[in-house]
Structure 1
C-alpha cells in the first residue's frame, strides 16, 4: 500500500489535472441536466430575472447549440481524463500492474458517481438555480465553439440523412390518440359527464365577469414594500397562496409573489412593488378575457379594479383552474370552504352572502328579478341602501331575505331565503 501512495505522490501534477477535469465534467453534466429540466414557467422567470438569469434564458433559446456545447465539453473533459489515467497506469512498473488497475478502477467509479450521477441529480432538484450559476462559463464555451458550430450542425444533419434516412420525428399528439381518448370516454358514462361539466365550465367563462369570481379585497392580507417572507411567521398563511405587496405610498396591490413555487434563496429576498407585477383588469371584463390576458402577459394574478380605478379584489390562475374543474363551481366554497346554498326546510334555504345570483336562480329553478349586483350580499346592500345588519329583512321578487348572522372577522354573511307561495 505504501508503494501505491509513493507512486501517487510522484505524480501529483497528473492527479491535480485529473481532479480539475473531473470538476469540468461535473460542471457540464450539471449544466446539461439543469438547462433541459427547465419548464416554460422557469424559462419565463429567467427571462425576467437578473443578468445571469437572462443569459441562461438566451442559452436555452438555442437548445441545439447549448446541447452541442455541453456534450462536446463533457466529451473532451472525459477523453483528457482517461488519457491522463492511461499515462498514470503506464508509469506503474510491471510488478505493480495490479495497483495501477485498482487506481484506474477507482478513477472510473469516481468519474461516474461524482461527475455524472451526483451533479445531474443535484441539477434536477434545482434546475433554475443551477442554470443561473452555470450560465456565464457555459456561455463562454458556446461562444468559443461558435466558429465550428456550422460544421458540427452539418455533420449532424448529414449523419441523420445517411444513417437514418427514413427517420421521422414523433408528433406531440396524434389524431389517433385523440380518437382513442374519445372512444374510451364514451365507454365510461361517469367520465363523459365530468368532461361535459368541464366543457360547460369553460364556456361559462365567457359569461362570468371578473367581479363574480374574484377574491374580495376585505379578505386579502397585504404588505407594504419592502417585505420579506419573515412577515408570514406572525400571520396565517395567505389563503390566496400569494404574498400581496402594495405600492409604497398607497394601498393598491402592485405585486403578487407565489408562495407555492419558492426556492431557498427566495427566503432571504426583499420583495417590492415591482418584484412580480400583477395585471390590472376592469371589474366587468369576462373571466375568459382575463385568462387570455394573464397568459399573454405571463402573469398569475390579476388585480380587479372598479370604475374609479380602485382595487376591489384579485383573480388568480388557480382560482380560474379550480372553477374549470370543480363539479359545482362556487366562490363561497372556494373562499370559505362552505356550501353556498343549503336547503333547510320546505321553501327555505340558508344562503351564503357570496352566492352568485345566477347560480341561485338555477338552484331554485325559478326566474328571479334582474339586478346590477351579482351576489346575495351585494343585492342586500342594493335593496337596503346600506351595509346589512343581523335581523334585516327585505322582499325580493318571490323571495323574502333575512340576515341571520354576520361574522366579525371576515364579514361572512348568512342569509335565510324563504320562497313565498
Structure 2
C-alpha cells in the first residue's frame, strides 16, 4: 500500500499506457480476424465500419502503425516501471522493487495482450466499428514517416538476403508435381490435378461457350409472382427479372438461397447482375463476380442485347466436375454419347473445345463456338432435321431442330479420304 501512495502518479500513467497498449492489441486482433463477409457488412454499415475496412485495404501500413505505437507505449510503460524500481532499490526496498517489476510484467501480458486479443477475435465486427475512428487517426499520424519505414525494411531485406530473387510464375506442371508429391492417394491427386487444369482453362474459356442461352432460362418482367413459375424451381436456381419495358435482364432472384419463397413480388428479393461481352473469358467474369459480390453475369452481344447468362454455380461446376458440360447442366443429358459403333449423338450447345477434347483432336478453325454454330455456318441457314454437313474430320446429320426442341445431331468420324472411319 505504501508503494501505491508514494508512486501514485507513476502508477496512474502506467495504467493509462497499459490501456493504450490494450487498445492497439485489440484492434490488431479484431481487424485482422475479419472474414470477407464481415468486411462486406462493415463496408455497407457506413461511417466507422467503412473506415475500418478501408484501413484493411493497406494491411502493411495498418500493421506497421499498430506495431510502432505498441512498441512506443510499451517502452514508456517499462520506463516508468524502471523508475519506480530504481527508487525503491535506492531505499533498500529490494523485495518491493522486484514485486513492482513482476506485477508490471504480468499486468501488461494479461491485461494488454492476452485478454484484449481474445476479446478482439471473439467480437471482431462490433469492436471494429468502435475502434475504426481512433485507429484511423493513429495510422494517419504516422503517414509522413511511412516511406522511411518502408525504405528501412527494404534495406534490411537486401542486407539480410542479398541473393534473394523473385520466383517465376508457377506453371501447371509445377502444381501437378506438387500435388503428386503431397498425397499418396492417386485418385485424390487425379481429382486435384483435373481441378487445376480446369482453373487454368478458365482463362481461355469464353462466356459464349459456358453461358446458358436465352431460350434455356426463365425471365419475367416485374411484378413477378410465385404462381408464374408453376410451383417449380428454375433450372439455374435463379429467376431472371427483366427491365419493365424490355426483355433485357436487370436482376436475378436467388430462389434456392431464399429461406422462404414469397408468393408475390419476387422482384423485391432480386440482386443486381453484372454485364459482360460474349467474348469475355470466364476467369475475368469470375473475378468481377467476386469483386462486386454478385452471382449472375448477363452475357451481351455486339449490339448490347442479352444472349445468355453465366452463374457462379456454372463456373464452380466447370472447375470441380471432371466431366461437366452445358448439356449436362441445362438439358440433363450428356453432350456427347455413343449411339452405336463409331456413331455418336451430340447436342447443339456442345462446344467445339469439348468436341476436340473428347476425340483428342484439334477442331478446324471456325468463327463458331458450338456444334449448332458450325451447322448454321455450313448450311448458311437454320438447321432442319435431316440436314447433313461434313466439317473437318466429322460428318453431322441433324436429328432434331424443331421449335423449342434442343438441337441434336448424329456424328461420325471420317478418315483422311472423307469416308467413315
- TM-score, normalised on structure 2? 0.58
Partner of 2:379: 384
Does the residue aligned with 1:418 lie in a helix, a strand or coil? strand
Q: Does 1:284 align with 2:279?
A: yes
Q: How does 1:12-31 map to 2 (within 5 A)?
A: none
Instruction: Give the CA RMSD over aligned residues.
Output: 3.5
Q: 1:347 to 1:167 in 2, by over 3 A?
A: same
Q: 1:262 to 1:397 in 2, by over 3 A?
A: same
Does the residue aligned with 1:394 lie in a helix, a strand or coil? strand
Supply the distance in 1 between the matched residues of 2:299 and 2:318 (Cα, whole angstroms): 17
Partner of 1:312: 307
User: What's the CA shift string for 1:161-202, capped at 9, x where partnerless?
Assistant: 3328886979x9xxxxxxxx9689521011000000000000
- Measured after TM superposition, the shift of residue 239 of structure 1 is 0.5
Q: Does 1:323 align with 2:309?
A: no
Supply the distance in 1 between the matched residues of 2:401 and 2:409 (Cα, whole angstroms): 9
User: What's the CA shift string for 1:333-387, capped at 9, x where partnerless?
Assistant: 1111211111233332111111111211121223331101111011111111211
Partner of 1:241: 237
Does the residue aligned with 1:260 lie in a helix, a strand or coil? helix
Q: Does 1:223 align with 2:220?
A: yes
Supply the distance in 1 between the matched residues of 2:235 and 2:256 (Cα, whole angstroms): 12
Q: Does 1:202 align with 2:199?
A: yes
Q: 1:359 to 1:229 in 2, by over 3 A?
A: same
- Measured after TM superposition, the shift of residue 275 of structure 1 is 4.1
Asked if structure 2 preserves the Cα contact closer than 8 Å seen for 1:255 and 1:274, the reply is no
Q: 1:166 to 1:57 in 2, by over 3 A?
A: closer
Supply the distance in 1 between the matched residues of 2:50 and 2:226 (Cα, whole angstroms): 31
Q: How does 1:351-370 map to 2 (within 5 A)?
A: 351-370=346-365
Supply the distance in 2 between the matched residues of 1:57 and 1:378 (Cα, whole angstroms): 54
Supply the distance in 2 between the matched residues of 1:42 and 1:276 (Cα, whole angstroms): 19
Q: 1:216 to 1:273 in 2, by over 3 A?
A: farther
Q: Does 1:193 align with 2:190?
A: yes
Q: 1:420 to 1:250 in 2, by over 3 A?
A: same
Does the residue aligned with 1:349 lie in a helix, a strand or coil? strand
- Measured after TM superposition, the shift of residue 393 of structure 1 is 0.5
Partner of 1:404: 399
Asked if structure 1 preserves the Cα contact closer than 8 Å seen for 2:42 and 2:50, the reply is no
Partner of 1:163: 110
Asked if structure 2 preserves the Cα contact closer than 8 Å seen for 1:185 and 1:191, the reply is no
Unpaired segments of 5 or more residues in structure 2?
A: 1-33, 54-104, 122-177, 416-421
Partner of 1:67: none
2:414 aligns with one of 386, 403, 420: 420
2:248 aligns with one of 248, 252, 257: 252
Q: 1:413 to 1:159 in 2, by over 3 A?
A: farther
- Measured after TM superposition, the shift of residue 221 of structure 1 is 1.0
Supply the distance in 2 between the matched residues of 1:412 and 1:304 (Cα, whole angstroms): 20
Q: 1:398 to 1:220 in 2, by over 3 A?
A: same
Supply the distance in 2 between the matched residues of 1:273 and 1:381 (Cα, whole angstroms): 40
- Measured after TM superposition, the shift of residue 412 of structure 1 is 1.0
Supply the distance in 1 between the matched residues of 2:263 and 2:239 (Cα, whole angstroms): 14
Unpaired segments of 5 or more residues in structure 1?
A: 1-37, 49-53, 63-157, 173-180
Q: 1:349 to 1:244 in 2, by over 3 A?
A: same
Q: How does 1:97-116 map to 2 (within 5 A)?
A: none
Q: How does 1:122-133 map to 2 (within 5 A)?
A: none
1:212 aligns with one of 201, 209, 212: 209
Supply the distance in 1 between the matched residues of 2:106 and 2:266 (Cα, whole angstroms): 51
User: What's the CA shift string for 1:3-47, capped at 9, x where partnerless?
Assistant: xxxxxxxxxxxxxxxxxxxxxxxxxxxxxxxxxxx9855874796
Asked if structure 1 preserves the Cα contact closer than 8 Å seen for 2:296 and 2:311, the reply is yes
Supply the distance in 1 between the matched residues of 2:222 and 2:48 (Cα, whole angstroms): 28
